[in-house]
Amino acid sequence: MKQRNYRKEYDDYHGKPEQVKRRAGRNSARAKMVSAGKAKKGDGKDIHHKDGNPRNNSRKNLSVMSRSRNRARRG
């Protein structure tokens, strides 16, 4: 099995400005829910963006759900 080239992955995908913004949005949403007492660090939960936009972090657009349920969702 071929070994993953993490540097190339980052350069080709994760380091792109749009992906950096999306990741920052997801991190911001998590921090917002933790400070609101809805989630805890290491709780195994995901923060779900109801409209699918990771940059829309309004409180009414965010909910906490299990990792498996959130990742099983389509669209």
d(CA 9, CA 54): 21
pLDDT per position as a tens digit, 19-37: 999 999 999 999 999 999 9
d(CA 53, CA 36): 20
Domain assignment present for residue 1? The answer is no
Among the listed residues 45, 37, 41, the one whose alpha carbon sits nearest the alpha carbon of residue 64: 45
* pLDDT score recorded for residue 60: 95
| pLDDT at 73 exceeding the cut of 90 | no
Domain assignment present for residue 67? The answer is yes
* pLDDT score recorded for residue 75: 57
Q: Which domain holds residue 28?
A: 6-72
| pLDDT at 54 exceeding the cut of 90 | no
| pLDDT at 4 exceeding the cut of 70 | yes
What's the helix, strand, coil split of the chain in %, to 5? 50, 15, 35
d(CA 52, CA 75): 7
* pLDDT score recorded for residue 1: 86
Structural domain count of the chain = 1
* pLDDT score recorded for residue 66: 95
Domain assignment present for residue 63? The answer is yes
